[in-house]
Structure 1
Amino acid sequence: MKQTFTTSQKIRQMLVILLPILITQIALFSMSFFDTTMSGHASPVDLAGVAIGVSIWTPINTGVTGILLAVTPIIAQLLGSKRKEQIPEKIVQAIYLGVIIAISIIIIGIFTLGPILNLMSLDPDVHDIAHRFLVAISIGIVPLFIYTVLRCFIDAHGYTRITMFITLMTLPINIILNYLLIFGKFGFPKLGGVGSGYASAVTYWIILLITVFFIWRKQPFAELRIFSRLYRISLRAWKEILKIGVPIGFAIFFETAVFATVTLLMSQFNTTTIAAHQAANNFASFLYMVPMSISMGLTILVGYEVGAKRLKDAKIYSYLGICLAIFLSLLCAIGLLVFTKEIAGFYTTDAAVLALAQQFLIYALFFQLSDAIAAPIQGALRGYKDVNSSLIMAFVSYWIISLPLGYYLANYTDLQAFGYWIGLNSGLAAGAIFLLIRLITLQRKHERMNADRASS
């Protein structure tokens, strides 16, 4: 990370940080992508079971790990303000917090997983696969949360290529494990969709070990000696992380939970509809990696500039990121429109699921523009350590607008399952408008404060 002076320098630095994040996010998501697609080729029942399991796991995973994303702006601002000596304790305290949260999730899951699944009207085979999938993936929760902290630490330095390299190293391992455990190849047990849960859990352990090795051996991380000292638990440090991280986590949870809730509500329809919805939803989430990656990059860039008191540069980065996201989203939408049938074919060979998935994918087109505006703005706001506005936006747009509207359209009109997708699109659009207004207001506030300090 370094100071930039021209727009071209900013674009270059943004791309240097952004592209590895994008590749990393695509690689991480590809684990879920291959879990879903390979399970779908095992059988529609396996696809539906994994879909239910993923719909429960995803909001928990993304929401709780979202709390740990507070590490990125905290470390970025420390680097921008030249206070590197404070970093080691911040990271160790975040690891402590991550482990405590992960163990808590496992304990809560032991008592609640069965009752949650029992509340759903699932085919017995789908119920069984979903339950065993979640038990399998729980083996990797602790290493996943620790890795999240360490990844934020690396990325905040601007060395996003390192996390890209680590993730790309582990992706083939995940695919191979999926192949062995889902289909029972080379003497391994044939577990179907459940095998993808075990494959992901093992992969999480491997990716953590590789990350620890890089931080221990490679500069500039090695000089900070993150693992050389065990600090006492500091509730003050935890409070700082939670103050920023809890709103981030809940905002992400509200977003992913509404998509998961829609998937659960789809259980009122048949297995074909559940499988087709999950296929389209999975690919829409795959495309979301583009604006999400830009969002993560902007948190680093904006946080660094805000820490250095260069507010004008922070503002320029914000709008460069939004423009780039809109441009790329339009390209993705065109590709989705042209190759709808081929994309649906990635997930299933079942004719009924294939036909219905293509219809759901058309609705996914409209996700692109709203996500291209909302996600980068969320990243920029986190760089300013402004996190409560995203939390409010997520709750209102998804749970006050999206879900009630979708439920009404799905149950009281002829749209049926498609009504939920229309509701989601409406909430996304409303959220994007709200966040844009918030970003403009916040930047003007900072400009006035900066002007007042200069005049005094």
Structure 2
Amino acid sequence: MYPTHSLLEKIKLYSIILWPILVTQISYHAMNVIDTMMSGRAGTTDLAGVAVGSSLWAPILTGFNGILMAVTPIIGHLLGKGEKQEISRSVLQALYLSVVLAVVVYVAGVLFLPSILSLMQLEAEVAYIAKHYLIGLSIGLVPLFASNVLRFFFDAQGYTRITMVILLITLPISAFLNYLLIFGSFGFPRLGGIGAGYATGLTYWIIFGLSLLMTKRIPSIRAYRLFSHWIRPSLSAWKAQLALGLPMGLSIFFEASIFSFVTLLVSRMFTTDIIAAHQAALNFSSLLFMIPLSMSMALTIVVAYEMGAGRVKDAKQYSWMGIALSMLIITIASVFLYFLREPVAYLYTDHPDVVALAMSFFLFAIFYQLSDAAQATLQGVLRGYKDATVPFVIALISYWGIGIPSGYWLATQTNLGPFGFWIGIIIGLTSAAIGFWIRLYYINRRFSSLRS
């Protein structure tokens, strides 16, 4: 990270930070896409089971990952202030916290997963696949959370290519493990959709091992001597991270959970074909969302750095530049999705009825991409300002107070059926984008008045 003095320099630095994050996010999501696509080839029931399992897992993963994401603005501000000596301590405490959070998730799964699946009233085979898919994933909880802490540590300093390289190495390994365990190749058991969970859980261990290796092999990272001097876990340090990370995590959780909740409602109310088509459309549109999400994460890095150094004007320039670029790019991507929605649907299934349904879902996905891109980048800017509590309230009201109720009403009280839920998602995301925009306007005015 370094100061910039013109818009051109800002675009250059932002691009350098952004593109590895984008490759990393696409690679992470590609693991889920591979799980879904390969499970769909094993059978429609496998695809539905993985859809349900993924929908339960996604909000948990993103929510807890959001808590750990507080490492990025914390370290960004420390770098901007020149307090590098505090960085190693912050990272170690975050690693301790990540292990605790992983254990919490695991215990909660053991206690509540059977009851949740029972309440969903799924077909017996779909519920069985969903449960054991999640059991397979659980073997990688600790390494996943710990490797994400290291990732945010790398990213906050502008070293976004480190995780990109790690993911590019592990992605084909994940695909190969899927091939072995889903289809029972080379003497391995044929597990169907369940095998996708175990393949991904094993991949998380590989990612963590490579992340640890990078802390020793890269000189600028090795200089922090992360694991040379162990310190005791500090409840006060955890409290400081949770004060920022918890509202961040909850905001992300409430966004991710509306997609998962809609999938669960669709699973209860409609046929297996509709579940499969819904999941295919949601899965691929989520892949496109990696673009604004990556831009959001890059904005958090640069805005936090500039705010830590007290350069409010530069932070504001980064903010508007990033938001405008995000909207432009996702608009172009949505146009491509419109014209390619049929071949994309066939990537998930060869059943004509499911393909036709997925194509219809893709039309709604195109519209929610725009609102999703706006709210994501706005949240990234606010995180850079270390503003998390008010955005959390905005997210809760928008997603669960407006989006879900309106979607449920449209799905049950009109002829829209499952498409009503997608309209509800669009309404919720748009409400959040408007709320975040107002909040950012207020934050900018407050900092401008402090400077004057």
Q: Give the TM-score band, short-chain normalised.
A: over 0.9
Identify the residue that residue 443 of structure 2 maps to in structure 1.
Answer: 442
Identify the residue that residue 406 of structure 1 maps to in structure 2.
Answer: 407
Tell me if 1:36 matches 2:36.
Answer: yes
2:219 counterpart SS class: coil
Aligned-partner residue type, residue 64 of structure 1: F
Deviation at 1:390, TM superposition (A): 1.9
Identify the residue that residue 76 of structure 1 maps to in structure 2.
Answer: 76
Identify the residue that residue 52 of structure 1 maps to in structure 2.
Answer: 52
- CA deviation map 1:266-288 (0-9, x unaligned): 12101001110001111111111
Deviation at 1:389, TM superposition (A): 2.4
Tell me the number of residue pairs that the alignment of Structure 1 and Structure 2 aligns. Answer: 451
Aligned-partner residue type, residue 357 of structure 2: L
Identify the residue that residue 266 of structure 2 maps to in structure 1.
Answer: 266
Identify the residue that residue 423 of structure 1 maps to in structure 2.
Answer: 424
Identify the residue that residue 244 of structure 2 maps to in structure 1.
Answer: 244
Mapped to 2, the partners of 1:389 and 1:276 lie a distance apart of 36
Tell me if 1:107 matches 2:103.
Answer: no
Deviation at 1:219, TM superposition (A): 2.1
Mapped to 1, the partners of 2:173 and 2:423 lie a distance apart of 37
Aligned-partner residue type, residue 367 of structure 2: F
- CA deviation map 1:39-61 (0-9, x unaligned): 01110000000000011111111
**1:15-164 mapped onto 2 (5 Å cutoff):** 15-164=15-164
Deviation at 1:448, TM superposition (A): 0.7
Aligned-partner residue type, residue 380 of structure 1: V
Tell me if 1:188 matches 2:188.
Answer: yes
Deviation at 1:446, TM superposition (A): 0.5
Mapped to 1, the partners of 2:372 and 2:329 lie a distance apart of 11
Mapped to 2, the partners of 1:358 and 1:396 lie a distance apart of 30
Identify the residue that residue 309 of structure 2 maps to in structure 1.
Answer: 308
Mapped to 2, the partners of 1:162 and 1:110 lie a distance apart of 34
* Aligned residues with identical type, % of pairs: 49
Aligned-partner residue type, residue 419 of structure 1: G
| TM-score for both structures, normalised by structure 2 | 0.99
RMSD value over aligned CA atoms?
0.7
Mapped to 2, the partners of 1:286 and 1:388 lie a distance apart of 28
Deviation at 1:216, TM superposition (A): 1.6
Mapped to 1, the partners of 2:158 and 2:326 lie a distance apart of 20
Aligned-partner residue type, residue 182 of structure 1: I
Identify the residue that residue 283 of structure 1 maps to in structure 2.
Answer: 284
Deviation at 1:417, TM superposition (A): 0.5
Aligned-partner residue type, residue 344 of structure 1: A
Identify the residue that residue 220 of structure 2 maps to in structure 1.
Answer: 220
Q: Are the counterparts in 2 of residues 409 and 419 from structure 1 also a CA contact under 8 Å? A: yes
Mapped to 1, the partners of 2:19 and 2:296 lie a distance apart of 12
Mapped to 1, the partners of 2:383 and 2:216 lie a distance apart of 28
Aligned-partner residue type, residue 78 of structure 1: L
- CA deviation map 1:260-314 (0-9, x unaligned): 1100001210100111000111111111101100000000000000000000000
Deviation at 1:93, TM superposition (A): 0.5
Aligned-partner residue type, residue 390 of structure 1: P
Identify the residue that residue 167 of structure 1 maps to in structure 2.
Answer: 167
Aligned-partner residue type, residue 263 of structure 1: T
Identify the residue that residue 454 of structure 1 maps to in structure 2.
Answer: none
Mind listing any 5+ residue stretches in structure 2 that lack a counterpart?
none
Mapped to 1, the partners of 2:212 and 2:368 lie a distance apart of 37
- CA deviation map 1:105-143 (0-9, x unaligned): 111211111111011111111011001101110000000
Q: Are the counterparts in 2 of residues 216 and 227 from structure 1 also a CA contact under 8 Å? A: no
Identify the residue that residue 395 of structure 1 maps to in structure 2.
Answer: 396
Mapped to 2, the partners of 1:29 and 1:165 lie a distance apart of 15
Mapped to 2, the partners of 1:449 and 1:145 lie a distance apart of 38
Mind listing any 5+ residue stretches in structure 1 that lack a counterpart?
452-456
